[in-house]
Amino acid sequence: MEQLSNLNTLFSAHLSLNMARVKALSMIVLALLEARNIRLSEMARYFTLSEAKVDSCFKRMQRFLRQVIFPADKLAMLILKILNIAADEKLTLVFDRTNWKFGTSHLNFLFLAFVYKGIAIPLFWCVLVEKKSGCSSFNERIKLTEVFLEVFGKEKISCILGDREFIGYKWIGWLRRNNLPYVMRLPESSTKIKHGGITKRASLFFAKMRIVTHKSIGLCTVGITNAYQSNISAYRNKSGVLVVLLHGNYIGDPVGLYAKRWEIENMFRAFKTSGFNLESTHVTHPERLSQLIGILAIAFCFAYKAGLIIASKKKTEEEAWLSSVQPCAAGLRCAV
């Protein structure tokens, strides 16, 4: 019951909900952490209501998702509060999209997350209603970025990362006009760029690069139709795969920054098959599913934070054990 009381206090202070809904949210979060499955039917079995039947708990969660809308700004600030992110700490943001199908329903979401100690944490997201599994548009990316800027300001952004989907003259042009730092991957084999008066496929500019090396060629013109400008760097990994990156001015280590993009893949894996089984949910209504993802984001923060604490304690115990063993080993060597 202490956990429930602590959650009630936290949610009351950061979300614009009445106490009945605060208590319901607290119980849903705890149920999700216990069930480790986002299906309402599974969570209902762990719902902390005295003498309540599973069916009643299930219906209460349905009503909550139908009636409650989390303010995006307050939810994002709550997430940073849970993780103790300082007000002056800059965030490396990552764009990515995930989609799955339940029955005949196609569910397609665009996420804006930030990298955090080996994983990404979702801050803002939107459902791509008219797209079964297609890419996001530049308008959808701009909208999510503008929400972030409105809540936290430009000074909160260290860099914005994205894969091959997140390019294009309108999107990159908007980032450059607003002086927002970015690193995005370019489709190197299909995109032509102009550099030094020569136009050819991006991959050909870096064809002679050795493995585990990187190279920057500065400001280039990207594309033929609807061309735009961006700085370009490349890296060839130890497997020989070439990665060509678009990035803004004054990005000192675009390759190192882009490597952090993988953390959002870790997040999706934790949301799905390795964690909360997001794809198993029977909730398909876009707005209700969006609220459910908000609950998942809260629970995910608590779960990951707890995991970091446990890992830290284990590391401390191992270090203590090693420090006790090493003097003994040294003594044995002297005795011999």
Range of the domain at 241: 183-250
Three-class DSSP labels, the chain: CHHHHHHHHHHHHHCCCCHHHHHHHHHHHHHHHHHCCCCHHHHHHHCCCCCCCHHHHHHHHHHHHHHCCCCHHHHHHHHHHHCCCCCCCCEEEEEEEEEEEECCEEEEEEEEEEEECCEEEEEEEEECCCCCCCCCCHHHHHHHHHHHHHHHCHHHEEEEEECCCCCCHHHHHHHHHCCCCEEEEECCCCCEEEECCEEEEHHHHCCCCCCCEEEEEEEEEECCCCCEEEEEEEEECCCCCEEEEEECCCCCCHHHHHHCCHHHHHHHHHHCCCCCCHHHCCCCCHHHHHHHHHHHHHHHHHHHHHHHHHHHHHHHHHHHHHHHHHHHHHHHHHHC
In a domain, 234, yes or no: yes
Structural domain includes residue 245 = yes
Domain assignment present for 237: yes
Structure confidence at residue 253 (pLDDT):
93
Percentage of the chain modeled with pLDDT above 90: 68
User: Of all residues in the chain, what percent carry a pLDDT higher than 70?
Assistant: 91
How many domains is the chain built from?
Answer: 1
Give this prediction's pTM.
0.89
Asked if the structure places residue 202 within a domain, the reply is yes
Mean pLDDT confidence for 219-244: 94
Query: Which tens digit of pLDDT belongs to each residue from 2-33?
Result: 888 899 999 999 998 999 999 999 999 999 99
The answer to the question of residue 333 being in a domain is no
In a domain, 330, yes or no: no
Residue 161 lies in a domain: no
270 in a domain, yes or no?
no
For the stretch 188-207, pLDDT in tens is 888 999 999 999 999 999 99
